[in-house]
Amino acid sequence: MHYRAVRRKDLTHLQNALGYIGISRLARAQSHVMGSIEAIEYLLGNLQNDKGVVLPNPELSIESGIDLLNKNTAHLLGPASSNRRVRIMVTLPSEAADSYEMVKQMTLNGANCMRINCAHDSEVEWKSMIDHVRRAEKELEVVIKVAMDLGGPKIRTSGITKSIKVRKGDVITVNKTTSDRNTLVGDIHITCSNYRVFDAVKSGETIQFDDGKISGVIEDCKQNHFTVKVTAAGGKAKKLKKDKGINLPDTALYLDGLTDQDRSDLSFVAKHADIVSMSFVNTPKDVKLLLAELDQYNVKGKLGLVLKIETKKAFVNLTEILLYAMRWYPFGVMIARGDLAVETGWANMARLQTEILNICGSAHAPVIWATQVLESLAKKGVPSRSEITDAATSLKAECVMLNKGPYITEAIHFLDYVLKDMEIYQSKSSALSPKLAFESNLI
pLDDT tens, position by position, 365-421 = 999 999 999 999 999 999 999 999 999 999 999 999 999 999 999 999 999 999 999
Within-domain flag for 364:
yes
**pLDDT-based confidence at residue 216 (cuts at 50, 70, 90):** very high
Residues 161 and 148 in one domain: no
Within-domain flag for 107:
yes
Residues 266 and 202 in one domain: no
Domain of 220: which CATH number? 2.40.33.10
* pLDDT for the residue 429: 79
Least confident of 38-47, 311-320, 433-442: 433-442
Within-domain flag for 270:
yes
Domain extent at residue 265: 67-153+257-431
Within-domain flag for 252:
no
Residues 239 and 186 in one domain: yes
* Distance between CA atoms of residues 157 and 42, nearest Å: 59
Domain termination site, one of 247, 273, 304: 247
The model carries a pTM of 0.91
Q: What does the pLDDT average to over 62-91?
A: 95
Residues 273 and 408 in one domain: yes
Within-domain flag for 147:
yes
Domain count, the chain: 3
Residues 276 and 289 in one domain: yes
CA distances from 29 to 56, 65, 191, 362 (A): 16, 9, 49, 8
Q: What does the pLDDT average to over 187-201?
A: 90
Domain termination site, one of 41, 60, 79: 60
The larger pLDDT score, comparing residue 438 to residue 155, is at 155
pLDDT tens, position by position, 29-43 = 999 999 999 999 999
Residues 269 and 396 in one domain: yes
Within-domain flag for 106:
yes
Residues 329 and 235 in one domain: no
Say which residues have a Cβ less than 8 Å from residue 247's Cβ, sequence separation at least 6. Answer: 155, 207, 208, 209, 212, 339, 342, 343
Within-domain flag for 442:
no
CA distances from 329 to 74, 280, 300, 325 (A): 12, 20, 7, 8
* pLDDT for the residue 182: 55
Residues 290 and 369 in one domain: yes
**pLDDT-based confidence at residue 180 (cuts at 50, 70, 90):** low
* pLDDT for the residue 214: 95
Residues 71 and 203 in one domain: no
Q: How many CB atoms lie within 10 A of CB 177?
A: 12
Q: What does the pLDDT average to over 254-280?
A: 93
Over 90: is that where the pLDDT of 292 sits?
yes
Over 90: is that where the pLDDT of 431 sits?
no
